[in-house]
Amino acid sequence: MKKTMKHLLVLSTAALLTTALAACGSSSNSNTSNNTAATNGASSNQSTNANANKPADGDIPTLVWWTIGGQIPANFDKAIAAMNAYTAEKIGVKVDVKVASWGDWDTKINTIVNTGEPFDIMFTNNGKYNQQVNMGAFADLTDLVQSESPDLYNLIPQKVWDGTKVGGKIYSVPTYKDSSLTQYWVFNDSYVQKYKIDTASIKSLKDLDKPFHDMKAGEGKSFYPLSLTQGDGFNGFFNNFDDMTLGLPPIGVKVDDASRKVVSVLENQDVMDGLKLLHKWYQDGIVNPDAPTKTEADKARPFFAAQAFPGAEATWQINEGVAKYDMFPVFGPIYTTSTIQGSLNAISANSKYKKEALKYLQLVNTDPKLRNMLAFGEPGVDFNNVDGEKVVERTTDTWPLAAYTQGTFFDLAVTKGAPVDQWEQVRKLNDQAISSTSLGFALDISKVGTEVANTKAVWDKYRYELMTGASDPEKMVPKILSELKAAGMDTIMKAAQEQIDNYFK
């Protein structure tokens, strides 16, 4: 027995040492993937154990930027190389953009943060940010952003910086875009003409009932006017509630509630009526029957709801191959902490290049040329400049990166077909936006971690079917509520109420 213990000890020490050595070893590998990619246009996504902290050639550092996007096209590396050639000359920084697909992003980003894989910049949002900051994954940029990238600091309004603060400190660079939320409903124009839908009179869910039934009756059995997916449900359904960046819709504060009372959202009468209507639509064949298990949205949907801004239809028309979309706002514009945190780029606490990363983000936010390459792809292949860097024409629909994840809209070109003053209109929306009464407050979940994990697990068990109308809310909502309460929902609500009262004292 003694002997085996001894052997085990030796073995375990050896094992620990090997892993430690392996870790050291990997950090002395230089990152060559970019050079090869740049010179021979090698295929996409070489996931070598690239190490973010080693200059690629001589003294130009290459930053690893993890972001979200679609399928990587063949010319991706060429496009990034073109970008790098430009930025290397301009500020002496290159990037290696790594893309997690829309569906994998959740899991992948968690894994990267948890395993301490080296990265410099990471796209994140309100669903993850709080937890990641709590874990200590991101660098504190409060002073650095002012000393290293003053232009960036001055470009973004104080209100938006405040929305990213956790415990009074800045841990990420927010994307200054349509930082207030405006909810739009979008119809495919061909159906609007065919069924004489008067979009101007549509103000609420109830007003959608007639057009949907008309479309269903006219188009036949296997046509679904409202095509939903499990992840999204009916987009924007809970807009009236500020979720305090918790990312758990059943708990929230009404955006216009001056007393800032934390409430159980599912018990709200309007929410319940909306859910009943969704369920009725599901039963009437308005919603696609496979919605609760559908993961990818169809292209060219006859109707969808989305957070957007004027001119967004131009992009959708290209991406979805639809001749014309009619969109009209139904809610907002409104600022909440979550809408501001809808797109953030944070810098790793372990990055050796924090200053360079900030410089790069500053350039993204202030230099139209780089901004357009990031948003549209390879110049001359994915897009052509029509009017300098102000208007571009997109020639492909394969570019995987989403403009909203990168940097401000206000130095981005307008896509041909969208109104030329598109970004001015977005700016106006931001200026007109009312603020949620809880703006600036973000819940600190460090003390109620178990309850949050449990309630989220319960919500995940039911939300696909509830939010697509597949389950009957009259039966399910009481059941969901009792399970949420068993999982510690009341504890979270109590903690949230205390925190929010303290914050606004």
Partner 1 sequence: MDSKSERKRLRTRWRTQDTELSLLALPTTIWYVLFCFLPMFGLIIAFKDFKIYGGFLSNVIHSDWSGFKNFEFLFKSNDAWVVIRNTLGYNFIFILLGILVPVTLALMVGQLHSRKAGKVYQTMMFLPYFLSWVVVSAVIWAFLSFDKGIANQFLADLGHDPINWYMEEKYWPYFLVFMNLWKGLGYGMVVYLATITGIDNTYYEAAVIDGASKWQQTKFITLPLMKMVIVMMFILSVGRIFYTDFGLFFQVPRDSNSLFNVTTTVDVLVYKQLKTATVGMASASAFVQSVLGCVTILIANWVVRKVDPDSAMM
Residues that bind partner 1 (CB under 8 A): 11-12, 15-16, 18-20, 23, 27, 106-107, 110-111, 113-117, 131, 135-137, 222, 230, 288-290, 292-293, 295, 349-350, 449-450, 453-454, 456-458, 460-465, 470-471, 483, 486-488
- Smallest distance, partner 1 to C-beta of residue 229, A: 12
When the beta carbons of 10 and 135 are compared against partner 1, the nearer one is 135
- Cβ neighbour number for residue 469 with a 10 Å cutoff: 27
When the beta carbons of 197 and 458 are compared against partner 1, the nearer one is 458
When the beta carbons of 277 and 445 are compared against partner 1, the nearer one is 445
CA distance 52 to 132: 19
Name the residue among 48, 93, 130 with its Cα closest to residue 364: 93
- Smallest distance, partner 1 to C-beta of residue 446, A: 9
- Smallest distance, partner 1 to C-beta of residue 252, A: 18
497 burial via Cβ count (<10 Å: 0-12, 13-18, 19+): middle
CA distance 405 to 156: 15
**Tokens linked to 291:** 């919605």
When the beta carbons of 113 and 275 are compared against partner 1, the nearer one is 113
When the beta carbons of 14 and 420 are compared against partner 1, the nearer one is 14
40 burial via Cβ count (<10 Å: 0-12, 13-18, 19+): exposed
For 309-366, the DSSP string reads: -TTHHHHHHHHHT-S-EEEEEEEEEEE-HHHHTTSEEEEBTT-S-HHHHHHHHHHHHH
- Smallest distance, partner 1 to C-beta of residue 11, A: 8
- Smallest distance, partner 1 to C-beta of residue 465, A: 4
- Smallest distance, partner 1 to C-beta of residue 274, A: 19
Which parts of 213-250 are beta strand (E)?
241-242
When the beta carbons of 176 and 459 are compared against partner 1, the nearer one is 459
- Smallest distance, partner 1 to C-beta of residue 178, A: 27
CA distance 278 to 208: 11
CA distance 154 to 346: 18
Report the residue count for the chain. Answer: 505
When the beta carbons of 303 and 464 are compared against partner 1, the nearer one is 464
